[in-house]
Structure 1
């Protein structure tokens, strides 16, 4: 499914709107601005809550190849995996698809004179980055989710397996 054109804009899924996130138990959807400022570092707050952007080639994950799951730094929702991560050489972590479409939501972004698609966490409405299509990368979706490192946290595969399943003795 393409996220561009009429497939997404004007057709929000019922549980991806910010007001619906709190109704379905979204983590952090009901936090006040003061609570977010208290919980996040100034850099995290700027990107996650004010839709800022970190400088390219400065984030923690732009060149990481560790296997694991990338969670929203604000609420812990699982957003991407290392299986969909690829080297786009743009200076930010790039993924060709989210872990699950319901975990992210899209907003038509016309700021700074550009026409882009913003990607947000569906659970807490935090800004993650943008998604681009048709750039010629040899990925299955021909999409590049350009995500700020400061918006996500990598849980390495070993840690994810221990917390996600019961250990057998």
Structure 2
């Protein structure tokens, strides 16, 4: 575990490629952090990446090779505009309060069971029916779905009925 949470003046993280046994990286509230080193893609045992409150984070390196990564928390990363390429093994994904404007159409998150998108960019929700394409990419095994502050929402997509395992 590597916990740098609350390091508000931290601007960059050194090369982590040699930290091959790292399982959890906690960078919550590192508000001066702008990007992660590309070496993070070599952390094959990384299971959790916590980055809530990294308000100046603009980009993430490709995380698709991180097969062990199952929890990604980007809550409050309001300058993050582009959805990162992530592993299909993600189970817990928190994107609320980010600046993400759209999602890739080929997004596949087969193992996802918790998904949260509270307080998202108005540009994302500004489309007529933003939920329909997104909901169709989510697995039916989802147990937790948190969506809020969607001013353009008129009705729920009919595909929401396929989430038979939702608990809350």
Does the alignment reach a TM-score above 0.5? no
TM-score (norm 1): 0.25
Higher relative CO (Cα under 8 Å, sequence separation at least 6) belongs to 1
Q: Greater share of helix residues, 1 or 2? A: 1
Q: Greater share of strand residues, 1 or 2? A: 1
